[in-house]
């Protein structure tokens, strides 16, 4: 006669299957690898804005720069099926002008990691030029020299 054993309640696993468990932080906070890709992208945007602010401080006063992961699912009427890298929202009423960069489409467009910083710079310069009503080469004369 076979007797069934009572089934013990399931316990949460605290260690991996080899019994080692977590070993600690992979990258300490003092190393660059500690920052996430989103934080690194934000740093690239801030670097570009600071470079432009040195020359265009008066014109960029009050302009807000933002980063969103992806663009909203409803495209603007002038976007014909293409994924926008950024959008400019002009000032209206009490709202300040806002330039929004979309992180994932820009990261996808940069084929290699070292191409991301120049692409972010180019996108920000194009949006600032559109805001100011000038050509991008006026905003940054070094654009395209790389």
Rounded (10°) CA dihedral 62, 96, 130, 126: 60
Which pLDDT score is estimated for 26?
Answer: 67
Read off the CATH number of the domain in which 45 is found: 3.30.2010.20
Q: Rounded CA gap, 41 and 37, in Å?
A: 6
**Per mean pLDDT, which range of 13-17, 27-31, 39-43 is the poorest?**
13-17
Asked, for residue 103, whether it belongs to a domain, the answer is: yes
Asked, for residue 45, whether it belongs to a domain, the answer is: yes
The single residue listed with the structure tokens 């054993």 is 5
Asked, for residue 24, whether it belongs to a domain, the answer is: no
Asked, for residue 5, whether it belongs to a domain, the answer is: no
> Whole-number mean pLDDT of the chain?
83
Q: Which residues are paired to 82 by β-bridges?
A: none
Which domain does 96 fall in, by range? 35-71+83-138
Distance of CA 72 to the CA centre of its chain: 15
Asked, for residue 56, whether it belongs to a domain, the answer is: yes
Q: Rounded CA gap, 9 and 25, in Å?
A: 31
pTM of the model: 0.75
Asked, for residue 26, whether it belongs to a domain, the answer is: no
pLDDT in tens, 53-97: 989 999 999 999 999 999 887 766 666 667 889 999 998 888 999
Asked, for residue 7, whether it belongs to a domain, the answer is: no
Q: What's the structural domain count of the chain?
A: 1
Please provide residue 67's backbone torsions phi and psi, each rounded to the nearest 5 degrees: -125, 130
Asked, for residue 16, whether it belongs to a domain, the answer is: no
């Amino acid at each position: 006669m076979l007797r069934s054993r009572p089934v013990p309640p399931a316990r949460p696993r605290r260690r991996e299957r080899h019994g080692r468990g977590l070993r600690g932080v992979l990258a300490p906070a003092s190393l660059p690898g500690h920052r996430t890709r989103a934080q690194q992208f934000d740093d690239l945007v801030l670097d570009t804005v600071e470079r432009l602010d040195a020359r265009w401080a008066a014109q960029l006063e009050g302009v807000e720069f933002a980063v969103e992961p992806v663009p909203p699912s409803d495209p603007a009427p002038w976007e014909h099926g293409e994924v926008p890298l950024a959008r400019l929202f002009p000032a209206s009423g009490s709202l300040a002008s806002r330039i929004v960069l979309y992180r994932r489409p820009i990261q996808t467009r940069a084929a290699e990691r070292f191409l991301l910083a120049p692409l972010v710079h180019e996108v920000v310069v194009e949006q600032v030029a559109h805001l100011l009503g000038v050509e991008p080469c006026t905003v940054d004369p070094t654009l395209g020299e790389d």
